[in-house]
Structure 1
Amino acid sequence: MSDDNPHSSRGSASRSWLERIASIFTAEPQDISDLEDIISEASMRQLIDSDTKDMLQGVLDVSKVRARDIMVPRSQMATIDIEQPLAEILPILLENNHSRYPVVNEDKDHIEGILIVKDLLQYALDPNNNDWQWLDLVRPAVIIPESKRVDALLREFRQKRYHMAIVVDEYGGVSGLVTIEDILEQIVGEIEDEHDDAEEHDIKKMASRVFQVSALTPLDEFNETFGTQFDEEDADTIGGIVLHAFGHMPARGESIALGDLTFKVSKANSRRLMQLQVIRAREAEPEGS
């Protein structure tokens, strides 16, 4: 009968597909693998494209992720000191191009609040506003533990309409920060803005022995900067070298030592490395640095 009516087999397959979806949502799934199987089959049948599959998988993965897994590490936080005059703050804003900055008192363990650039510009560009101090614009900071689930944090971001949270460890010390963009990138992949291309291959010195390095930095540029001799036949970028050394796609926070350098993943998604923190061993530090 199916030979005489080719639509019959397709109709049967469609009913089977719909029945499987229905069974997932009407029954109580034992684990998330049931949903993952449905998503994989939908992609194989070309009912959804690969980008949609990755996004759906990202939604499922968010429930497994904690704030410590996606936070911007403390060493990479761009902050403003409460004692800085406005003239010193503006270059920081221009260099980093963020929309929000933690305001600290002496060090990063003492967060006084959050400065939103939009608030600052509103006052700075209004010629009628002469009697104001930038400290008056600082908003309270949201503090969360490292163990905070990211799906719960996203819900709070939406409900309470804030976009940044300061992450603290079990002793109350600041570990880093999380923004709503960090969470969305776990779902949809990297969100690039107009500044990303300009910064893509940067090697930025954060401290005497600590550097922020794009994973896409060409290997010859990295070797020249750090005096290393990674083989350019093994990879085109430093990210390729690090990925090969790990032997798997590392998550944020994972680290590995290669020679005198320690590489810590500071930004990554399920598909690629984006940013690395590179730390020189003390004995490898050049004289005078």
Structure 2
Amino acid sequence: MDDISTGTLLIFLGVLVLISAFFSSSETGMMSLNKYRLRHLVTQKNRNAMRVHNLLSRPDRLIGLILIGNNLVNILAASIATTIGMRLFGHLGLGVATAITTVALTTIILIFAEVTPKTLAAWFPERIAYPAAIILKPLMWVFYPFVLGLNAITNGILKLFRVKPDDNGQVLNQEELRTVVNEAGTMIPRQHQDMLLSILDLEKVAVEDVMVPRNEILGIDINDEWADIVKQLYGTKHTRLLLYRDTVDDAVGYIHARDVLRLTSKKKFSKDTLLRAAKKLVFVPEGTPLNTQLLHFQRKNYRFALVVDEYGDIQGLLTLEDILVEIVGDFENRAQPGRHEDYRRQVDNSYLVEGSANVRDLAKDLGWKLPIDGPRTINGLILEYLEEIPQPNVSIKLYGYPVDIVEVTDNAIKQVRVHAQLYKKMKSSK
């Protein structure tokens, strides 16, 4: 280097710093890429994505290539910097010249070849990684023998310590996927986020959590007078009706609205023809997860089932629509926030809640922090909390929420007032 001028050496040094910056930014950019977006672009046959994906398929080789290139460049830069330092500061002594050169080169490398390019690559990984792959691909062929040898040594060392690559490192579990959905922001509309999260929650919800309770089942007692039965058939808003004798426990089948229309078009429409048109009932045990029951509905091609307990007693009624509502929300009340058949917002921002209101629905619709792994209704939750039937006009604090008992009849709480806004103020003041 004695024949090369100091100016030329400074230019070489600048070029080497830029090359070092390229390798540093390439490493950070490659490792900061969104792997799921990359896979999506690969399925779209994007050439840049396919090139990067090919390099990332063996990250040990990619890192080996980048480190070989970076270290070669930095070592050469150190040699040139030493020569420049001796020329400029040699008259101050070897120790002083070496110290000045070391500090100067370290500062330059850190700022221009490490921190700045890596920060830029972390912010814009695709803009850095995709163009870099065009250069790294042929470099991989050039340095392949060195990369292979380096990987053989490093992998051998890792095997001595029994370190193996984790094949599941790029697989998301449910909670991680939930975080991804929550952090999608404006990329996924809030309504769609809620639907995706509801699908993830299906296995945590059992059929008894969304079924129509036994005491609310609307059906037809075929032992009633025929005129009353016909009136019920014509007046119902439901597409499917349970048929039973005297009590729900003696269910004989269910009838679809279209079958009723078909029967009424005929001259002979009687109890006998109604019973012959009834469809066979399907029974499912309580505790069945919703995702499992949804698959049963799909595979066995039915949409109506009765939920039974361990003794075979009917506990409620479940339809496919009940599961769909759990996923997408209530169609009837979505357009009118604050209004629901089980709760009504009052002028003072309190809520009048029916005792039969489902705890899970309240927690989901209104964001209340109520336990959902115990009693299914507000009535059951309060009775479990108090361990007795309260009197009207009694106020309690239910899991932090001020609650007024409004109405109690037939040994059950019919209506309560929940001061949710007051609960929020108490929480914010703590």
Where on the TM-score scale, by shorter chain, does this alignment land: which range?
0.5 to 0.7
Helix, strand or coil at the partner of 2:255: strand
Decide whether the 8 Å contact of 1:80 with 1:89 is kept in 2. yes
Partner of 2:257: 117
Structure 2 unaligned segments of length 5 or more: list them.
1-17, 19-24, 40-166, 383-389, 395-406, 415-430
The total of aligned residue pairs comes to 228
For normalisation by structure 1, the TM-score amounts to: 0.64
Residue 249 of structure 1: CA displacement? 4.9
Helix, strand or coil at the partner of 1:134: helix
Cα distance change of structure 1 residues 113 and 247 upon mapping to structure 2, 3 Å threshold: same
Separation in 1 of the partners of 2:269 and 2:293?
Answer: 38
Separation in 2 of the partners of 1:66 and 1:21?
Answer: 37
Cα distance change of structure 1 residues 89 and 171 upon mapping to structure 2, 3 Å threshold: same
Decide whether the 8 Å contact of 2:233 with 2:260 is kept in 1. no
Residue 95 of structure 1: CA displacement? 4.6
Partner of 2:33: 16
Decide whether the 8 Å contact of 1:260 with 1:281 is kept in 2. no
Cα distance change of structure 1 residues 147 and 35 upon mapping to structure 2, 3 Å threshold: same
Structure 1 unaligned segments of length 5 or more: list them.
2-7, 202-213, 220-231, 263-277
Structure with more helix by fraction: 2
Helix, strand or coil at the partner of 1:133: helix
Cα distance change of structure 1 residues 47 and 192 upon mapping to structure 2, 3 Å threshold: same
RMSD: 4.1
| AA at the equivalent of 2:377 | E
Partner of 1:224: none
Helix, strand or coil at the partner of 1:103: strand
Out of 233, 246, 250, the residue aligned to residue 348 of structure 2 is 233
Partner of 2:376: 253
Decide whether the 8 Å contact of 2:222 with 2:229 is kept in 1. no
| Fraction of identical pairs, as percent | 26
Does residue 105 of the first structure (1) align with residue 242 of the second (2)?
A: no
State how 1:276-287 maps to structure 2 within 5 Å: 280-282=409-411
Helix, strand or coil at the partner of 1:102: strand
Partner of 2:290: 150
Does residue 35 of the first structure (1) align with residue 158 of the second (2)?
A: no
For normalisation by structure 2, the TM-score amounts to: 0.45
Structure with more strand by fraction: 1
Helix, strand or coil at the partner of 2:187: coil
Residue 247 of structure 1: CA displacement? 5.2
Decide which structure has the larger Cα Rg and report it.
2
Which deviates more from structure 2 when the two are superposed, residues 134-143 or residues 252-261?
A: 252-261
The C-alpha deviation readout for 1:131-168, integer Å capped at 9, x for no partner, is: 86211111110101001121111112122221110001
Cα distance change of structure 1 residues 284 and 28 upon mapping to structure 2, 3 Å threshold: closer
Cα distance change of structure 1 residues 60 and 171 upon mapping to structure 2, 3 Å threshold: same
Helix, strand or coil at the partner of 1:63: helix
The C-alpha deviation readout for 1:163-219, integer Å capped at 9, x for no partner, is: 1100011111110011101001111111339xx99xx77xxxxxxxxxxxx234465
Decide whether the 8 Å contact of 1:217 with 1:238 is kept in 2. yes
Decide whether the 8 Å contact of 1:114 with 1:138 is kept in 2. yes
Separation in 2 of the partners of 1:114 and 1:157?
Answer: 16
Helix, strand or coil at the partner of 1:122: helix
Helix, strand or coil at the partner of 1:238: strand
Partner of 2:120: none
Decide whether the 8 Å contact of 1:79 with 1:102 is kept in 2. yes
Cα distance change of structure 1 residues 250 and 84 upon mapping to structure 2, 3 Å threshold: farther
State how 1:15-164 maps to structure 2 within 5 Å: 16-19=33-36, 29=171, 31-41=173-183, 43-44=184-185, 46-127=186-267, 133-164=273-304
Q: Which gives a bigger RCO, structure 1 or 2 (Cα 8 Å, sep 6+)? A: 1
Partner of 1:166: 306
Residue 30 of structure 1: CA displacement? 7.3
Out of 182, 185, 191, the residue aligned to residue 331 of structure 2 is 191
The C-alpha deviation readout for 1:198-244, integer Å capped at 9, x for no partner, is: xx77xxxxxxxxxxxx234465xxxxxxxxxxxx6352x41499869
Residue 86 of structure 1: CA displacement? 3.8
Decide whether the 8 Å contact of 2:391 with 2:408 is kept in 1. no
